[in-house]
């Protein structure tokens, strides 16, 4: 019996690995490396890469600056409506990207709720891309950060206060370093989500080369006409995402961030 169960476990993992890695490998194996590199030299491809990087970095900066204190509040305070606040923050996680795009248009588009104040400054602009990326990726960071802060030993926070540190200083010097690995994991998840964002960006910001066309949009535009170019961009996106994941694992594995694990 035990032998048979072991075989089931191994077979399951093998199937999962094969299915999950095959498409990733195929991107690299379908075309020669030379052709991949050549098609990256195309100007539109580089533009898309630059935009993806700039927009996702800007979105992540906003998410970390606003999301970290917000997650701390959710993790450390008990107040009326807290459960509702948490649910609302998590809602974009389950929202279909098309719905997110429509929602952003309805809220921030020229005819939207806040259209009077914003006008057409966001829609079909680079700022609009950042806006869409922030909307879809923020919950990934917030959720992870809240869990990371909740896992910090309360007695560390109490100790810090009795040792003369205000709550703000405790947050900066104890809570953030202690929650470091969790915050970093949330950061990586959110960045990965932002890099891959497609639907909401397309609907809210459109797909204009050099202005709003990030890598996923560029891949979609090319896949009907220039499959090699689409493959090349996909390969770059895979490499960037893998590098992101690997660096996070390395950083937290090396214990450079201290960490709450005791």
Partner 1 sequence: MLRVEARARLGALHLDVALEVPPGRCLALAGPSGAGKTSVLRVAAGLLRPEHGRVMCGDAVWLDTERGIDREPERRGCGYVFQDYALFGHMSAWQNVAYPLRGTSRGERRTRAQELLERFGIGELAGARPRTLSGGERQRVALARALAREPRALLLDEPLSALDARTRAAAGRELAGVLGAAGVPALLVTHDFTEAALLGDEVAVLDGGRILQRGAASQLAAEPASPFVADFTGAVVLTGVAHPAAGDVTRIELDGGGTVTALDRATGPVAVSVYPWEIALAPPESHDPGSSRNHLLVDVVSVTAVGNRVRVGLAAPQPLTAEVSDAAVRELGLQTGARAVASWKAAATRVLPLAHHTVSKTSS
Q: How many residues bind partner 1 (CB under 8 A)?
A: 23
Does position 259 interact with partner 1 (CB under 8 A)? The reply is yes
Residues in the chain: 262
**Please, what is the minimum distance in Å from the beta carbon of residue 169 to partner 1?**
8
Run of H or E including 123: none
Helix runs in 2-153, H state only: 2-29, 33-40, 43-76, 82-94, 97-108, 115-118, 126-150
Q: Residues 129-168 vs partner 1: string with x where CB under 8 A?
A: ------------------------x-xx-xxxxxxxxx--
Whether residue 238 contacts residue 27, with contact meaning beta carbons closer than 8 Å, is answered with: yes
Nearer to partner 1, 132 or 157 (CB): 157
Does position 178 interact with partner 1 (CB under 8 A)? The reply is yes
Does position 258 interact with partner 1 (CB under 8 A)? The reply is yes
Torsion from C-alpha of 120, 123, 128, 132, nearest 10 degrees: 130
Nearer to partner 1, 50 or 173 (CB): 173
Other residues' Cβ atoms within 10 Å of the Cβ of residue 3: 6
Q: Which two tokens stand for residue 124?
A: 């079909």
Does position 50 interact with partner 1 (CB under 8 A)? The reply is no
Does position 254 interact with partner 1 (CB under 8 A)? The reply is no
**Please, what is the minimum distance in Å from the beta carbon of residue 262 to partner 1?**
5
Report, in angstroms and rounded to the nearest whole number, the Rg of the chain calculated over CA atoms.
22
Nearer to partner 1, 65 or 159 (CB): 159
Q: Under the rule (CB under 8 A), what is the footprint of partner 1? A: 153, 155-156, 158-166, 173-174, 177-178, 180, 257-262
């Amino acid at each position: 019996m035990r032998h048979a169960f072991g075989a089931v476990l191994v077979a399951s993992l093998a199937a999962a690995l094969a299915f999950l890695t095959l498409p990733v490998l195929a991107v690299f194996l379908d075309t020669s490396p030379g052709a991949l590199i050549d098609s990256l030299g195309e100007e539109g491809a580089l533009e898309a890469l630059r935009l993806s990087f700039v927009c996702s970095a800007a979105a992540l900066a906003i998410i970390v600056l606003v999301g970290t204190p917000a997650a701390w509040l959710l993790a450390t305070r008990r107040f009326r409506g807290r459960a509702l606040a948490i649910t609302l923050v998590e809602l974009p996680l389950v929202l279909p990207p098309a719905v997110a795009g429509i929602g952003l248009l309805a809220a921030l588009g020229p005819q939207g709720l806040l259209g009077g104040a914003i006008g057409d400054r966001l829609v079909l602009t680079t700022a609009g891309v950042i806006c869409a990326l922030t909307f879809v990726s923020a919950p990934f960071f917030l959720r992870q950060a809240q869990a990371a802060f909740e896992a910090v030993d309360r007695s560390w926070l109490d100790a810090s206060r009795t040792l003369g540190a205000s709550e703000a200083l405790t947050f900066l010097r104890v809570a953030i370093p202690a929650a470091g690995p969790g915050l970093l994991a949330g950061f990586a998840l959110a960045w990965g989500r932002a890099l891959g964002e497609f639907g909401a960006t397309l609907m809210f910001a459109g797909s204009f080369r050099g202005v709003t066309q990030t890598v996923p949009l560029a891949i979609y535009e090319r896949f009907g006409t220039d499959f090699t170019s689409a493959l090349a961009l996909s390969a770059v996106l895979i490499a960037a995402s893998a590098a992101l994941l690997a660096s996070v694992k390395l950083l937290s594995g090396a214990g450079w961030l201290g960490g709450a694990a005791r």
